[in-house]
A and B are shown apart, each in its own frame.
Chain A
Amino acid sequence: MSAILEAAGLTKTFGAVTAAANISVSIEEDTVVGLIGGNGAGKTTFLNLVTGYLKPTAGTVRFSGRDITGMAPRRITRLGICRSFQIPQVFDSLTTFENLLMGLGIVFMGRSAFVGSHLGDASPEEVAEEMLERFRLEEYRDEPASVLPEGVRKLLDIAMAMAVKPRILLLDEPTSGVSADEKFALMDLVLGAIRADKVTVLFVEHDMDIVRRYTQRILAFYDGKVIADGDSASVLADAEVRRLVVGEGGPEGAPC
């Protein structure tokens, strides 16, 4: 397996605050990786650095060996790194269908600029219909995004990130704002729809049951630093992770 995404010595400071401190991470192609950490651990900052929304104070980001440090989000998107948002970023005045069509239309217009796309010979409209089906959004097809339930907005947000066929998808808390009994169904649906294309996934998550179930590997952040990186079981069993991230009493806490 080869590394699709590599961060080396990634550092971001805001004045006296260090949001990311010397983060070095390498993500292999065709894997599902979880990113965990408490509030302010630097998870979203890491996503923002990788996707070009923030420029790092120091360090580099490489995508398939290519240096993408400091590129604008739209250029990074065209290369195949896409993201969803903790708070769904959709077009409120447009319908579900139009929201999807927007992304596919952009890809259609700039086919030469995008590295990958779902379009092939199909029209953006056809692919939008197909994606509605794949993400089970058909019943909301013609409703404006502003009136959709939060869980559906989450799903639409992720589907929109998939409109540009990504090679790696970064999901920022896909299950936040979704009720506990719907979380697994949502993740099954999302990962089923995404993994059919062998897209590499990195997702930020607070629910340890979700992380345990869906990831092969976990990165644990604390205070802008990587404190653990390895296969899911060992990271979740790590004493420091249990104390600082999972929030148990200490190293003597009973394993779950």
Chain B
Amino acid sequence: MNGFRRTGLGLAIALGGLAAAAPFLPQWALFLVVISLAKGLAALGLLLLMRTGLVSFGQGLYFATGAYAAGVAANSLGVGDAALMVLGGGAAAALVAALLGLLLARYRAIFFAMLSLAFSMILYGILVKSPALGSTDGFNVSPKTALGVSLSTGPGRYGIYSLAALGAFACALAVDRYLRSYLGRLAPAVRDNELRVEYMGASVRNVVHLNLIIAGALAGVGGAITALAVGHVDPEMAYWTTSGEFVFVAILSGTSSVAAPFAGALVLEALRSFAYEHAPNSWQLVMGAAMLAVILFLPDGLWSVFRRRRRTAT
């Protein structure tokens, strides 16, 4: 069985698990899973960038773009179905990434990180100063249907959950396919040696630009899903702490599998929920300690636990 089929099977099992678990999960747990999947998508985009040798502290930009685009589609353009709103969010974020990529693709290392941060803070500033978009309060987003099923009926309770699970599954599968293609494999080559990539006839800037667009689209889809799940968008989605959280998830997860960011995001969200409940005044301390522990003991991320076990088993 080749790697792509194995990953596909693993993801399908995970999707089946999510579907099977749904009837037994309380509302708060369904919400937690949806938010984890949404943030996992943004972190999956970061995984692509990290493979290219880049760390972005501004993925919140695309996250917010996706969320606001979904909201505008629902409120101003009359789009009623959640699936279309998610697609619109992803497309809008990809478009923004394509434009900003013209500039961003020229930069590397700390310059890239700071420039991506700067762009996201510019969007934050614009959103805060835009009364039409609700300024600091943002606005409410309420889809009527998800994949044609009305969200106000009984099964509609699982509408956004199903949409998030299917969306994450499709994105993870597509990214895995991409990573195994010749095009996708250029990313680590760019990270290792840009000069050689150019001298083998490929454009380094195009490779970086493409990965920026894919990462932006993934964050946009994640943002749109978040907007639907929360039922509200606000400028905080573009704020640097949101972007920082994606980096947190990406480091927590590691870059060894397309499933890792989702698992990492779920661990983060669960940890935060419990920390917030049991230590409401010092939950950040718990998060920081968890991060420290991962960096010290699992430098390749949480997912490396599976790898190690597999290696000792064989």
Hey, which bits of chain A sit against chain B, CB under 8 A? 51, 72-74, 77-78, 82-83, 89-94, 98, 101-103, 105-110, 113-114, 124, 160-161, 163-164
Decide if B201 touches A114 in the complex (CB within 8 Å).
yes
Task: Please list 5 pairs of residues, one from A and one from B, whose beta carbons are closer than 8 Å in the complex, sorted by A's number.
Answer: A74-B201, A89-B193, A93-B191, A94-B188, A160-B200
Cβ contact within 8 Å between A89 and B195: yes
Q: Give the size range of B's interface with the partner.
A: 10 to 19
How far is B201's CA from A114's CA once the two chains are assembled, in angstroms? 8
Given contacts A92-B192, A93-B192, A94-B189, contact A109 B183 (CB under 8 A): yes
Interchain CB contact under 8 A, B201 and A110 = yes
Most chain A beta-carbon neighbours within 10 Å: one of B188, B193, B196, B201: B201
**Minimum Cβ distance to chain B for residue A230 (Å):** 30
Contact A91 B188 (CB under 8 A): yes
Q: Which 3 A-B pairs have the closest CB atoms?
A: A105-B182, A91-B192, A77-B201
Count CB-based A-B contacts (< 8 Å). 70
A79 to B193, CA, bound (A): 22
If A89-B196, A91-B193, A93-B192 touch, whether A102 touches B186 (CB-CB below 8 Å) is: yes
Assembled-state Cα–Cα distance A114/B189 (Å): 20
CB < 8 Å neighbour of B198 from A74, A102, A124, A163? A74
Residue contact A90 to B193, C-beta cutoff 8 Å: yes
Residues of A within 8 A of B196 (CB): 89-91, 160
User: What's the least CB distance linking A79 to chain B, in Å?
Assistant: 9
Shortest distance from the beta carbon of B157 to any chain A beta carbon, whole Å: 46
Partner of B201, one of A91, A92, A93, A164: A164
Q: Which of A51, A102, A124, A161 has the most CB of B within 10 A?
A: A102
Task: List 6 additional A-B contacts (Cβ < 8 Å) besides A106-B200, A164-B200.
Answer: A51-B199, A89-B196, A90-B193, A94-B188, A102-B197, A160-B196
Near A by CB (< 8 A), chain B positions 166-224 give 182-183, 185-186, 188-189, 191-193, 195-203
Q: Which residues of A contact B195 (CB under 8 A)?
A: 89
**Chain B residues whose C-beta falls within 8 Å of the C-beta of A82 in the assembled complex:** 199
Tell me, in angstroms, the Cα distance from A51 to B196 when the chains sit together. Answer: 12
Closest-by-CB residue of B relative to A84 is B199
The CA of A109 and the CA of B192, in the complex, are separated in Å by 20
The smallest C-beta distance from A76 to any residue of chain B, in angstroms, reads 9
B5-18, CB under 8 A of A: which get 1 and which 0?
00000000000000
Q: Bound complex: CA of A68 vs CA of B203, how far in Å?
A: 18
A78 to B202, CA, bound (A): 9
- The answer on a CB contact under 8 Å between B199 and A105 is no
A103–B189 Cα distance when bound, in Å, is 10
Q: Contact between B200 and A91 (Cβ–Cβ < 8 Å)?
A: no
Please determine whether A106 and B186 come into contact, CB atoms closer than 8 angstroms. yes
| Residue among A91, A160, A164 facing the most chain B CB atoms (10 A cut-off) | A91
**Which among B183, B188, B200, B203 has the greatest number of chain A C-beta atoms within 10 A?**
B200
Residue of B nearest to A73 (CB): B198
Tell me the minimal C-beta distance from B254 to chain A in angstroms. Answer: 15
Name the A residues within 8 Å of B189 (CB-CB). 91, 94, 102
Task: Please measure, in the bound complex, the distance between the C-alpha atom of A78 and the C-alpha atom of B198, giving whole angstroms.
Answer: 10
Q: CB-CB < 8 A to A73: which residues of B?
A: 198-199
- Name B194's closest neighbour in chain A (CB-CB): A89
Given that A102-B185, A105-B182 are contacting pairs, would A72 and B198 also be in contact in the complex, using a CB cutoff of 8 Å? yes
The one of A72, A78, A89, A108 in contact with B182, judged by C-beta atoms closer than 8 angstroms, is A108
Instruction: Evaluate contact between A110 and B199: CB separation under 8 angstroms.
Output: no
Q: How far is the CB of B8 from chain A (nearest CB, A)?
A: 21
Give the Cβ gap from A71 to chain B, nearest Cβ, in Å: 12
Give bound CA distance, A74 to B202, whole Å: 6
- Bound-state Cα–Cα, A89 to B203, Å: 16
What residue of chain A has the Cβ atom nearest to residue B200's Cβ?
A: A103
- Asked whether, in the complex, the Cβ of A110 is within 8 Å of the Cβ of B202, the reply is yes
Q: 1/0 per residue B38-77: CB within 8 Å of A?
A: 0000000000000000000000000000000000000000
Q: Which of B215-263 contact A (CB under 8 A)?
A: none
Q: Is the CB of B182 within 8 A of A77?
A: no
Among residues of B, the one whose C-beta sits closest to the C-beta of A145 is B192
Between A82, A109, A124, the greatest number of chain B beta carbons within 10 A of the residue's beta carbon is seen for A109
* A238 to B: closest C-beta gap in Å: 33
The winner among B183, B186, B195, B199 for most chain A CB atoms within 10 A is: B199
A92-B192, A102-B189 in contact; A83/B199 too (CB < 8 A)?
yes
**Smallest CB separation, A46 vs chain B (Å):** 16
Whether the pair B201, A102 counts as a contact (CB closer than 8 A) is: no
Contacting residues, chain A, for B201 (C-beta < 8 A): 74, 77-78, 103, 106-107, 110, 113-114, 164
Distance, CA A161 to CA B199, complexed state (A): 8
Contact residues in B for A109 (Cβ distance below 8 Å): 182-183
Give complex CA distance A101, B200 in Å: 11
| Cα(A23)–Cα(B62), bound, Å | 51
